[in-house]
A and B are shown apart, each in its own frame.
Chain A
């Protein structure tokens, strides 16, 4: 301990005091700065740091879209854009080497690459875009690392991939992140698809490095950042069947377009939504916008005889008719100077007194308009509004139209009459499908939807329900419709194992300017089954078939039959028809 007892000069003490004072001052400055940063500016800086961290999380995979059985309908793939920064590479030694490394994998000539790399006065040169991960990671990057070349930048980006090709293209839509454009569920499900799971506590700094926390779970850190999965109500098999049958009929009849909607009337879940012409969402930018558009939601058409279901339902519900109602069908009638006749007027010029079964079997326009005129206009309007006519169904797909449904004070007698057999108004196929589905669902209308609800709460908040008809009216109508299908000479709606309640429709196509009708027609069929316990509704609409003898029963009907048979098999629905009945048909 000798050194402890050395004598110290006064000069030493002065210096010591000076140094101690300086250190104290320095410590004071640090404390003051810390106080300023952490206390005074604390909240503001914390917020700025958080913003900085979030901005580094841009690269995350968009969530997958799967069908109701988990089949992947959309996912992400990784691509690279390659850039060069001339200020970082040696022009003399690296140029040839870089050229030889890049040329072959990028499928570009050496001359082309060298020419690009020689723009020394530019800070960034674009070498190639949309290069697959395999080419970059296996063909280029190892060589670049081996030769220690600087100045090449591989910018990672994701691209949306639809592995099922054309399947459900109008449901899935597309996404163009650069232009902020989207369609289909890519648009309506956007929030889900980009929301990364809440259990992801990892944060990145401005350079993209993980900010480590002692409580960070390495398993979570190492997992790639990915948006939530979006489950659809679509069944791929039913969707494919619908698309195939629709395409077949359109090719056969040389029709312009068509749609098949398969939905569960109980909960509004859409099992299949085929729209033709379809497109490959992987190449959405190479097809015409009119093809990308889901015409079954945006375009309207006069529903024709399928609308008679709603006319009779409204009449039964308002009490103006009973199930045993009889009307005089004169075959032809003149209202306000307009001649209206049955489609089979020349075959049956005067059917006489008819019942509701005859009305549906022979699709009597005169019977329907007479019943329509019995309903007071305001009540009729209210009933059809309850069915969702003239308003958007609220389906979770973009671009839906409300249709055309004039208020009752503008109705003339002929408007009201023609409304009885599906003219004078214009609806979208989804409106008619959801309206008829309400009858199948014991009189309760349910919002049709394609994005599956994950919980009871979500279902209650997203899906609207309303009673349109009494349970008895719905049951009576189902019975009448099923009987009419059985009694009909046509094969529409007659499928093995199941009894079907439904109605065909054939309507003239209005001119594009809205005045008069063109030579084209819309053929449709709306039906549901099994009659005993309806679980599936199918709506088929085909626009402008160009073969002779085109009717709802000959064009849309066979599509319904083919799809319904397959749907019954896929969903294992319990048959409600005996074998003998099948044989009879």
Chain B
């Protein structure tokens, strides 16, 4: 039975092959302790690489997701800001000194009356009011001092 080279490169003869520890019908593999360690190390490295790839992908997606949220917020806040600034401009304009001056001059409420009507002297004796208050329905009002 031929030996099997699992690593695909030239094998060195070792003392293990010359002096078997146990006897029996075993298939003689061309494998030694060093190669086995390399194999295990490679496996470990492959696992680390895979983990890193998975972690990087997850991190990338997290970053992209966060970025899109931030971008969305940026667009929304800018939109609100633009609206706000428009409204602020209008408010400032409406309450500006000049707007008030113009409004006052339009309304012209400080204008004096064109014609003043003289009212004759009113009667000094006031007309008597009919006393139709329901005395029984009067509410008690607390008096102050």
Which A positions have Cβ atoms within 8 angstroms of B? 4-5, 7-8, 13, 16, 61, 72, 75-78, 132-134, 137, 161, 163-167, 209-210, 212, 214, 216, 218, 221-224, 236, 240, 244
Contact = CB atoms under 8 A, between A and B. Distances in A.
Given A163-B96, A165-B96, A165-B99, 9 more contacts: A13-B8, A77-B85, A134-B83, A137-B79, A164-B92, A165-B93, A212-B66, A222-B78, A240-B97
Contacts of A166: 98
A24 B83 CA distance: 58
A164 B98 contact: yes
A218 B74 CA distance: 9
Contacts of B99: 165
Given A4-B6, A212-B70, A236 B77 contact: no
B52 interface: no
Interface string B49-77: 00000000000000100110011011011
Nearest to B68: A212
A163 B92 contact: yes
Nearest to B92: A163
Contact of B67 (A16, A137, A210, A222): A210
A417 B45 CA distance: 101
Contacts of A5: 4, 6, 29
Nearest to B84: A224
Contacts of B29: 5
Contacts of B101: 244
B77 A133 contact: no
Interface in B1-45: 4, 6, 8, 29
A75 B70 contact: no
Nearest to B66: A212
B89 interface: yes
- Main SS at interface, chain B: helix
B82 interface: yes
B97 A236 contact: yes
Contact of A75 (B6, B8, B88, B97): B88
A77 to B, nearest CB: 6
Contacts of A222: 70, 73-74, 76-78
A221 B70 CA distance: 7
The 6 closest A-B pairs by CB, nearest first: A163-B92, A165-B98, A240-B97, A212-B67, A163-B93, A5-B4
A392 B66 CA distance: 56
Contact of A167 (B70, B83, B89, B96): B96
B70 A77 contact: no
A222 B101 CA distance: 39
A351 B93 CA distance: 57
Name, among B6, B74, B76, B85, the residue most crowded by chain A CB atoms within 10 Å (CB to CB).
B85
Most chain B C-beta atoms within 10 Å of own C-beta, residue among A76, A77, A236: A77
B77 A223 contact: yes
B86 A212 contact: no
B81 interface: yes
A227 to B, nearest CB: 13
Contacts of B67: 210, 212
Contact of A7 (B4, B79, B89): B4
Contacts of A75: 85, 88-89, 92
Nearest to A61: B85
B88 A133 contact: no
A522 B96 CA distance: 32
Contacts of B63: 212, 214
A47 B22 CA distance: 71
Nearest to A211: B67
A221 B74 contact: yes
A197 to B, nearest CB: 15
A210 B78 CA distance: 13
A78 B85 contact: yes
Contacts of B76: 222
A8 B5 CA distance: 9
Nearest to B76: A222
Given A222-B73, A222-B77, A72 B88 contact: yes
B86 A133 contact: yes
Contacts of B73: 218, 221-222
Given A209-B71, A212-B67, A224 B83 contact: no
Contacts of B86: 77-78, 132-134
A133 B82 contact: yes
Given A75-B88, A78-B82, A164-B98, A224 B77 contact: yes
Contacts of A16: 8
A237 to B, nearest CB: 8
Given A7-B4, A212-B66, A221-B70, A163 B82 contact: no
B29 to A, nearest CB: 8
A75 B91 CA distance: 12
| Most interface-central of B71, B73, B79, B96 (chain A CB within 10 A) | B96
